[in-house]
Amino acid sequence: MKRSFLSTLLFLCTVALLHAAKVDVQHVHPLHWWVGMKQPELQILIHGKNVGQCTPTLSATDVQLIRTETTANPNYLLLYVDTRNARPQTFDIVLRGKGLNGRIPYTLKPRTPRTVDSFTSADVMYLLMPDRFANGNLHNDNIPHLLEPKANRTNPDGRHGGDLAGIARHLDYLADLGITALWPTPVQVNNQKSHTYHGYAITDYYQIDPRFGSNEEFYALVDNCHCHGIKMVMDLVFNHCGSNNFLYADRPADNWFNFDSRYVQTNYKIGSVSDPHAAKADKALAQDGWFVEPMPDFNQKNPAVMDYLIQASIWWIEQAGIDGIRQDTYPYTDLEAMAAWNERIELEYPGFNIVGETWINHNVGVSFWQKDSRLAAPRNSRLRSVMDFPLMYLLNSVVDEETDDWDHGFARLYDYLTQDRVYADPMNLLTFLDNHDTNRFQSTPEAAQDIDRYRQALTLLLTLRGIPQLYYGDEIGMAANKRQGDGALRQDFPGGFPDDEQNAFSPEGRTARQTAYFDFTRRLLHWRKGNKAISEGTLIQFAPKDGIYAYSRQVPGRSCFVVLNGTRHPKRIGLSRFIESLPSPIAHEVLTNQDIAIGDSLSLAPRGIAIFDFK
């Protein structure tokens, strides 16, 4: 009787399973993972119709299911597993529920041994927008299933067709220029209705946008960059995502996004975060408000949200071998949650550098966001590198002024650098003349005729402290003003697209003016490469006097002395007051490429420059 009952029960269970619907799984993130992580706990997010009604088990005996979390939306299941004793393998996540069943194969891979070689002050970073740099594959210009399916170069706010293949095609150009780190704006899927070219509304954190290429093409691009001596810096966005990201469109719960997933715009008053007098309401709205409506703002106080985002960044480091991260809109994020992210990256990849976009117009505000800032204590962002926006504004203006001894021209730059003690690590500041959100350094074609302006600003950028960043086209004098719209700031690089009349990638295709820009940039970049006096040296600056600004960079065995004429008049300069920065009577003058004897004086043309290299 007992045996008959068991047989009947087994038969009924078998029939039930045969009639159970297969679970419709739409997303499993991360796509796979690795054994041997310092933090062995892994969140596996499963998204599919009514998957939250299932009970999961694992087929692996050495992977422990710690806990399962469901959400208000039954279409989610969060598995937390312990991989500390796991071996590389593919196991099944078995899902069973009322009327549902399914098996999801999940792979744990062995980690690839690697030495972190992240970006430092020894590098020069090149920022480009993949859509506007070069089109190397015409077949991915139009992707019918996406919401913005077609490339249209006549629309300054539309997609133009640039892609990863276009970048790969011009790595020789970047290496010849002297670039050692590449920062493309985000390359993950942005399946929004418009303005998708810039990449800052990510709709899938684990897939490359097909209009740029594939994941495999990105991995190959990283490898190709490394073969050219170029590091890859990935642009990530943790403050917000695109409104068509499944995490928002079919969100796990309203508490995954700020203001319970309702659009409330930020006040953009990010200074309130470091303001000792700030109203709580201002501070909350600054960080919790949405940047714009199509970009829902993540609730980073929700641990599940941060688990998801942290793992996404680790996935790209481990899978693609990227060398650094640039994190967008950093002061709009939650400081403590992002500090935990920085700590996790440092745990897994010691020395891995991350720079945060800290668009604040004064050094006190910027310094608050850098790791170990005394001004932020006892809070600590753990963020190694921040962006020196105040220096950008100075470099764009001081070269247009007549320098005096007090408060015009290079005297203002001198005063700014006297305040470097507010920074915990001035050498780890990202410095730049412009980027994709600002006026180009040469804001009009007329201004671009004045190459002396660029020469002085670039000399300062490449020889002062920090990690210099160029914006694509700076090296050929591309000009644009933000009043023309963001699309104008992000115009196509000439020669990057098949029907271009001019090709500025080749020496023969450049105009005389573009050649002058390029040659000056290339000379300085190649001289800077491997120059430890510039990348590691002490900065000693002399107070401007009679329109002249001078400083040196020094390490044992090598020093460089830079002197600039901040006036529109020729100058003859006595050198006796600079003697502490002139260690030898013979120096190599970098711009003329000549060895010269250092005398008692030096003549400089209007807006002239001299760079002396003592070895």
Distance CA 68, CA 94 (A): 13
> 260, 344, 324: which is closest to 43 by C-alpha?
344
Asked if residue 216 and residue 155 are part of one domain, the reply reads yes
Asked if residue 258 and residue 213 are part of one domain, the reply reads no
On whether the CB atoms of residues 69 and 52 are closer than 8 A, the answer is no
Asked if residue 146 and residue 196 are part of one domain, the reply reads yes
Per-residue CA distances from 367 to 47, 174, 185, 260, 328 (Å): 40, 31, 24, 32, 17
Asked if residue 521 and residue 548 are part of one domain, the reply reads no
Structure tokens at 51: 């998957």
Structure tokens at 300: 């980073």
Distance from CA of residue 54 to its chain's centroid?
39
Q: Which residues contact 402 (CB under 8 A, 6 or more apart)?
A: 408, 409, 547, 566, 567, 568
Asked if residue 21 and residue 50 are part of one domain, the reply reads yes
Distance CA 566, CA 424 (A): 30
Distance CA 450, CA 400 (A): 10
Count how many domains the chain has: 4
> 300, 304, 325, 327: which is closest to 315 by C-alpha?
325
pLDDT at 7: 52
Asked if residue 26 and residue 77 are part of one domain, the reply reads yes
Handedness of CA 376, 200, 337, 309 (dihedral sign): negative
On whether the CB atoms of residues 517 and 477 are closer than 8 A, the answer is yes
Handedness of CA 300, 301, 305, 310 (dihedral sign): positive
Distance CA 465, CA 481 (A): 27
Which residue type sits at 65? Answer: L
CATH number at residue 438: 3.20.20.80
Q: Last residue of some domain: 357, 391, 423? A: 357
| pTM (two decimals) | 0.95
Per-residue CA distances from 464 to 369, 417, 608 (Å): 21, 10, 17
Distance CA 471, CA 133 (A): 11
Phi/psi at 590 (nearest 5 deg)?
-70, -40
Structure tokens at 281: 């309401």
Is 546 a domain residue? yes
Pairing state between β 601-604 and 538-545? unpaired
On whether the CB atoms of residues 439 and 482 are closer than 8 A, the answer is yes
Asked if residue 245 and residue 228 are part of one domain, the reply reads no
> 602, 545, 600, 604: which is closest to 570 by C-alpha?
604
> 595, 610, 596: which is closest to 548 by C-alpha?
610
Per the listing, tokens 């990935």 go with 234
On whether the CB atoms of residues 550 and 581 are closer than 8 A, the answer is yes
Is 336 a domain residue? yes
For 88, the domain range is: 2-110
Is 177 a domain residue? yes
Distance CA 389, CA 181 (A): 20
Is 135 a domain residue? yes
CATH number at residue 20: 2.60.40.10
Is 396 a domain residue? no
pLDDT at 114: 87
Q: Last residue of some domain: 529, 548, 576? A: 529
pLDDT at 100: 87
> 96, 90, 86, 38: which is closest to 66 by C-alpha?
86
Ranges of residues in the chain whose predicted pLDDT is under 70? 1-20
Question: How buried is residue 113: exposed, middle or buried, by Cβ count under 10 Å (0-12/13-18/19+)?
Answer: exposed
Q: Which residues contact 9 (CB under 8 A, 6 or more apart)?
A: none
Is 403 a domain residue? no
Asked if residue 241 and residue 226 are part of one domain, the reply reads no
Is 139 a domain residue? yes
Is 370 a domain residue? no
Distance CA 352, CA 67 (A): 31
Asked if residue 323 and residue 309 are part of one domain, the reply reads yes
Asked if residue 81 and residue 10 are part of one domain, the reply reads yes
Asked if residue 101 and residue 195 are part of one domain, the reply reads no
Phi/psi at 266 (nearest 5 deg)?
-60, 155
Asked if residue 286 and residue 199 are part of one domain, the reply reads no
The catalytic residues are 328, 357
Residues, the chain? 615
Q: Last residue of some domain: 313, 329, 357? A: 357
pLDDT at 21: 76
